[in-house]
Amino acid sequence: MTSRDFGLVSVIMAAYNAEKTIEQSINSVLNQTYPAVELLVVDDYSQDRTVKLVENIMARDNRVRLIYNKENSGVSYTRKHGLEEAKGAWIAILDSDDIWAPEKLEKQIILQKKMNADLLFTGSAFMDSDGQPIDWYLHAPSEVTYRHLLKQNVLSNSSSLVRKELYEKYYAVGDGMHEDFAVWLGILKEGKKAYGVDEPLLTYRIAKSSKSGNKIKAAKMNWNTYRYIGLNPLSAFYYECWYVVKGLMKYKNLKQI
């Protein structure tokens, strides 16, 4: 598949003190079977070797661009900074400690052409904070509607592929909520559907220190997301109950956490 078939995909990677994992994450983008990508690494004022490692990769591959925050600003602002610099008509997100399978983008693009999709995602494999694989993966439904998504966010942020115009329209800034969830809900509320490739093309790192690693904090952020998109307290409570049940079903499979 060539760039003429689909065009440029802009991959946004927010990075903060990511020296232990970022090289592997970047290489998983550069090794995609679909080569027409630009990787926007947005450094959120790291104090370790993150910037130096990215600069070394940039010297070998001009598809990588390094963008700097002037101060530590949080992940949602950092991704917005990358979005403002993106040149592609499609946006993909990859966290600086997650990795893609080589065919991730290509398989999503094939499905996009088949379904004329605006938003796509994949199944997710998991690894622990040391990079050891966990023997279970989260399946991706073939399609997801707004009502389905309200009950559980099955769209892993690092697996997403979305039209830039929609991502810009619904982009949410706020590290007190799941800003990616808010974006997907905004898009699907239009009546659109998200389409999944049911293969573990993303490997997600479970890090207890991450923003969503604490289950109670994650539940509060989920509630804030429902309120942000305009659900009244009763509706938000209803879907929060679904979130808790679905979350328990999901995480009982992740024995190593």
- Evaluate if residue 224 carries a pLDDT over 60: yes
Q: Is the CATH number of domain 3-251 3.90.550.10?
A: yes
Q: What is the pTM of this model?
A: 0.93
- Can you tell me which residue has the tokens 């994992």? 21
Q: How confident is the model at residue 23 (pLDDT cuts 50, 70, 90)?
A: very high
- Evaluate if residue 185 carries a pLDDT over 80: yes
CB within 8 A of 150, min separation 6: which ones?
185, 226, 239, 242
More confident residue, 247 or 236: 236
- Tell me what the mean pLDDT of segment 106-129 comes to: 97
Rounded CA separation 140/158 (Å): 13
Q: How confident is the model at residue 49 (pLDDT cuts 50, 70, 90)?
A: very high
167-184 burial string, b = 16+ CB within 10 Å, else e?
beebbbeeeebbbbbbbb
Rounded CA separation 97/19 (Å): 9
Rounded CA separation 50/104 (Å): 25
Q: How confident is the model at residue 5 (pLDDT cuts 50, 70, 90)?
A: confident
Residue type, 220: K
- Evaluate if residue 253 carries a pLDDT over 90: no
- Tell me what the mean pLDDT of segment 36-52 comes to: 98
178 and 212 in contact (C-beta within 8 Å)? yes
pLDDT score of 161: 98
Q: How confident is the model at residue 252 (pLDDT cuts 50, 70, 90)?
A: low
- Can you tell me which residue has the tokens 């399609």? 143
